[in-house]
A = this chain, B = another copy of it.
């Protein structure tokens, strides 16, 4: 058995949702789960204790950023990423592929790997399946993502086909590089854009590698949400039931619920932490732009139904003051709230699955949040 594996507790009778426990070398994670993003070995503005107290048991960190700064050898010398950043929960690291491909003109793709210019200093750098895997071995993350190409949207059939086949060849090279499978588990990534037969081809090839888990990549990159849901509808059933399934880069409340209903176990996204720092709170009553003047003398909390530290002790008026005055505590309180909101929401989703009322929960949530149905 791999170091990371999914224990399925319950499968929903009316949807594809599953309730599970993801076993990792750094603890057990209830699924479906949202993973906060700690790009540069820190979840922005937060201590690890605050992330933990908010309910998170697994976070994501970015290989691309840590590769450039402070560098994998420093983190290896520190005893690995967990110790370096003082986080004793589980860590999933991405492969750097997404960031590198996002660099556009600053990168060149070859079969061997990708040459790119650092966004920090313009220096020429190189990432390959081997290097991306070795970096993640230095980091010591519990879940290692395969180095893939996340094709843009829109992209031609021919481009996506070439790209996914390269991603498959790269996934094999990642698998052959990872020698630390006693405590690190490789997840493969299914690509194929919005083309059903290419998703089928990719899923077949990637699952043939018999990896501990699988991600659906190449979504939430600009396509309409209905298209994303359609891709999930035909792609997720191609993945083996007993392995964890991870939808990359998705963290909006509606997409979390829709993803869970389509059989996804894991999600990550910078959205909640990023919009927090821009002054927007997620609540069960929809988004609240705390920066807006309407909250200037509103002494109620961000969300009176929320149990987070920010909502227990501070008013919208105070948090707005901090944001306007560019005080760091404002960014902290907003981040604490948004992360707690998503953790509470995932807990509600898990409870709804356990109690066989996920579709009803979805309806209620969307009515309160203000989505059109």
Contacts and interface: CB of A to CB of B under 8 A. Distances in A.
How many residues of A sit at the interface, in one of the four size bands? Answer: 20 to 34
Contacts of A45: 328-329
Interface stretch (A124-132, A180-188, A317-325): A317-325
Given A299-B78, A329-B46, A69 B322 contact: no
11 contacts: A41-B321, A42-B322, A42-B327, A45-B329, A47-B329, A47-B332, A69-B325, A74-B321, A78-B318, A84-B317, A328-B332
A331 interface: yes
A51 to B, nearest CB: 11
Given A86-B313, A332-B47, A40 B318 contact: no
Interface of A: 40-42, 44-47, 65, 69-70, 74, 77-78, 84-86, 296-297, 299, 309, 313-315, 317-318, 321-322, 324-325, 327-329, 331-332
A293 to B, nearest CB: 12
Contacts of A297: 74, 77
A314 B70 CA distance: 15
B78 A315 contact: yes
A84 B322 CA distance: 11
Closest 6 CB pairs of A and B: A70-B321, A45-B328, A40-B325, A86-B313, A42-B329, A42-B327
Given A41-B322, A47-B332, 17 more contacts: A40-B321, A40-B322, A42-B322, A44-B328, A47-B309, A47-B329, A69-B324, A70-B296, A70-B317, A70-B321, A74-B317, A77-B297, A77-B299, A84-B315, A86-B313, A328-B331, A328-B332
Choose among A44, A69, A315, A328 the residue with the greatest number of B CB atoms under 10 Å from its CB: A328
The residue in A45, A309, A318 that gathers the most chain B C-beta atoms within 10 A of its C-beta is A318
Contacts of A41: 318, 321-322
B313 A69 contact: no
A318 B85 contact: yes
A331 B309 CA distance: 20
A315 B41 CA distance: 13
A44 B296 contact: no
A208 to B, nearest CB: 39
A44 B42 CA distance: 19
Contacts of A47: 309, 329, 332
Contacts of A85: 318
Contacts of A324: 69-70
